[in-house]
Amino acid sequence: MHANTKHMRLVVDHVTFKVKDKNILNDVSFSVKNGEILAVLGPTGSGKTTLLNIISGRQKPSCGAITVNGQTFDKRLRRRLAVVQQQDVFFSQLTLMETLQFTANIRMPESVSASQKTEAINKLVQSLRLNKCLNTVIGDIFVKGLSGGEKKRASIACELLTNPDILLLDEPTSGLDSSTAHDIMNCIQENAKTHNKLIVTSIHQPASKLYHMFDQLVLLSDGYCVYSGNVKSVLPHYEELGYNCEQGYNPADFLLDILSTEDEAEMQRIRSNAYRDTMKVPDNNSEVTHEYKRKQKTRNGEFNMSESDTDSLLEDTRVMLDKECKADEMQGYGGLSNCDDRWATCWMTQYKALAWRSLKQSIGVLKQGYTLTQAIIVSVLCSLLYFQVGVSLKTSRDVFGLIFFYVGYWTFIPAMTVISSYPAERPVITKERTSGAYRLTAYYCARITSDLTDLFIHAVIMFTLFFWVGDLGGPAEFFPALIVNLIQTFACFGVGHLLSVLCKDIRMAITTLFSYLISMYLLGGFFSQHVPAWMEWIKYASLFYYPYAFTISLMVSNIEDTPCNQTKTEDFPRCIDNTTLYVTSDDILQQANVFLPPYVIVLIILAYTVLIRLAAYCALRFKKETLV
């Protein structure tokens, strides 16, 4: 797919980036136009990734400017930009075809038909030679899937589906063999030359044949730009400084050897003789726009930018900005969109695509069978232990133990499931949200849908089995208890999500979760019947207490009154002085430290479920380190 803009020039103008008192980038300047590949070359730690992050808008420069055809490269213009990160991040259980279909459905306008999307996917698959692995899952450390080279090409394919004018790639060949790296660079070169794309790529140590594919070159050393210009001029420049590249020697290795010198005086000499061949375009608001004619000193003399060239660049920028007002045209396709012009697709389309992907991922995990096996083992063991225990005064403690175990199991499991799975999902969501693929509300609602359908299936099956095997009552007790316990499970998914967002370190999230849950499990109302008076309030802070209290309230409501002389009088204080009295269901609940009426318990459960879910959403919205 050809670029939407015929003439485009990206200018990075004296950009500096500081972290505290340290300069990561120092006065970096260069320019590149569409149809060219600019490579950013430098040793590890030289600032390559930081430079790409600043261009893409992920980080803000401390000073300097970035423009496209003289216009500030703002959020609106960055819609024409795509970024391929160094780390390939995907949902592991989806196949390559499903991943590409998701990208097409959520980032291509809805006016584009399914057949057009499929055609675009097929063209990219063909050009990137991904035909053989279309039905292969992406994979992860547990599931074998795509190879490293295939994942990198998949990342490029996902970004090219949006038909960007500018493509940024962060070390696209790192960790790949020479043949795969060459295939990827061939694809990048084809998009630059054939489809008129503007491409900027950081690269660490390219092979000689890759080096000669570049048009422009930026050399970084400790954040300093020591060269920016045509790739053909770099060796003559360093020959003038006394560095000669031997014939047949890889120019990239030669340049990296120079940039990696530990001689401070020599490096200072290289920096002081930095070469810059940078042409700027005027500001669109300038009063002299149509009279602008700039002369930029270069190594070979002067470069003159004519008035007609300037007008052409600025007119292309205006056309491009006008296209951004329509989501369909923003993506390079014809037709009009009914959606908000900030997004390529409507909220409902985004929600459907995200929910579909989450369900696909969940189904892939469920197919592995570990969760199901765990649920079966636990269910069988509890069924043997509590077989036909029934509900009576004599068996009340057994029933309480079974209910408390179920509540505990479906409090720990949902929270732990999210905490262990979300860290793998977080980079994908961050990348997609940063690129403006969809609304946060659409993602979060899709996540809730996935939670509702994921482990709820197991929770329903397990509760039904416990209830039937244990002979705990009839439909009047079963359905209310099931609904309340499912709401509890839903709340605990939210707890896991909240902690996984607030704690970037999974170890901290797990430690925090276990510290809270273990403490509240101990104080949840079952294990200790004689809590010190000053600690009695703690059970009301426990997530275990409320579903446990509600469920046993339902169970004991059918227990018939029992004469005191048929009980242990020490368990019921009112029987000590008068054994002719009866023990009622209220006495049993008081013994279990349950004093709140059922409707109050339900309201409390609903309240903290909503609050937990809102807190998780707010964490996603406002914790900028996690999601943009």
Distance CA 110, CA 337 (A): 7
pTM of the model: 0.76
The burial of 236, by beta-carbon neighbours within 10 Å (0-12 exposed, 13-18 middle, 19 or more buried), is given as exposed
Q: Give strand pairing partners of 37.
A: 199
Q: Give strand pairing partners of 440.
A: none
**Domain formed by 9-330, architecture:** 3-Layer(aba) Sandwich (3.40)
Q: What is the mean pLDDT of each run of 10 residues along the chain (628 residues)?
A: 70 87 86 88 86 86 86 79 84 89 87 87 85 87 83 87 87 81 84 86 86 89 88 88 85 87 83 70 36 36 42 49 43 39 81 90 77 82 84 80 88 86 82 83 88 77 86 87 91 90 84 88 74 77 88 81 62 60 72 83 93 91 58
User: Which of 98, 79, 78, 185 lies closest to 139, judged by CA?
Assistant: 98
The burial of 22, by beta-carbon neighbours within 10 Å (0-12 exposed, 13-18 middle, 19 or more buried), is given as exposed
Would you state the structure tokens that stand for residue 533, as one six-digit string? 């008076």
Q: Are 229 and 79 contacting, i.e. CB atoms less than 8 angstroms apart?
A: no
Q: What is the pLDDT of residue 458?
A: 81
Distance CA 296, CA 265 (A): 29
Q: Give strand pairing partners of 18.
A: 23
Q: What is the pLDDT of residue 2?
A: 58
Distance CA 158, CA 451 (A): 26
Q: Mention every residue, 6+ apart, whose C-beta is less than 8 A from residue 117.
A: 101, 104, 105, 108
Model confidence over 35-75: pLDDT tens digits? 889 999 888 888 888 898 888 888 888 888 888 888 888 77
Q: How many Cα atoms are found within 13 Å in the side-chain-facing hemisphere of 78?
A: 18
Model confidence over 560-578: pLDDT tens digits? 766 665 666 555 666 656 6
Q: What is the pLDDT of residue 9?
A: 87
User: Which of 244, 218, 247 lies closest to 231, judged by CA?
Assistant: 218
* Tokens 């951004």 sit on residue: 324
Q: Are 464 and 485 contacting, i.e. CB atoms less than 8 angstroms apart?
A: no
Q: Are 621 and 440 contacting, i.e. CB atoms less than 8 angstroms apart?
A: yes
Question: SS3 of 123, please?
Answer: helix
Distance CA 98, CA 437 (A): 17
Distance CA 143, CA 92 (A): 8
Question: SS3 of 63, please?
Answer: strand
User: Which of 61, 88, 63, 256 lies closest to 169, judged by CA?
Assistant: 88
DSSP label at 628? Answer: -
Measure Cα distances from 536 to 529, 530, 531, 550 in Å. 10, 9, 6, 18
Q: Are 361 and 102 contacting, i.e. CB atoms less than 8 angstroms apart?
A: no
Q: How many residues does the chain have?
A: 628
**H helix and E strand count, the chain:** 21, 15
Neighbours of 59 (CB within 10 A): 17
Distance CA 95, CA 81 (A): 26
Q: Give strand pairing partners of 227.
A: 219, 275
Q: How many Cα atoms are found within 13 Å in the side-chain-facing hemisphere of 246?
A: 4
Distance CA 311, CA 290 (A): 7
Q: Are 425 and 91 contacting, i.e. CB atoms less than 8 angstroms apart?
A: yes
Q: Give strand pairing partners of 72.
A: 67
Q: Mention every residue, 6+ apart, whose C-beta is less than 8 A from residue 55.
A: 10, 12, 66, 73, 81, 168, 200
Q: Are 428 and 89 contacting, i.e. CB atoms less than 8 angstroms apart?
A: yes
Rg (CA), the chain: 32
**242-278 burial: b if 16+ Cβ within 10 Å, else e:** eeebeeeebbbebbbebbeeeeeeebeebeeebbbbb
Distance CA 230, CA 3 (A): 22
Q: What is the largest CA-CA distance in the chain?
A: 113
**430-454 burial: b if 16+ Cβ within 10 Å, else e:** bbbbbbebbbeebbbbbbbbbbeeb
Would you state the structure tokens that stand for residue 143, as one six-digit string? 């599931």
Model confidence over 15-28: pLDDT tens digits? 889 888 788 888 88
| Domain parsing of the chain, residue ranges | 9-330, 347-622
The burial of 280, by beta-carbon neighbours within 10 Å (0-12 exposed, 13-18 middle, 19 or more buried), is given as middle
The burial of 116, by beta-carbon neighbours within 10 Å (0-12 exposed, 13-18 middle, 19 or more buried), is given as middle
Q: Are 225 and 29 contacting, i.e. CB atoms less than 8 angstroms apart?
A: yes
Q: Mention every residue, 6+ apart, whose C-beta is less than 8 A from residue 535.
A: 523
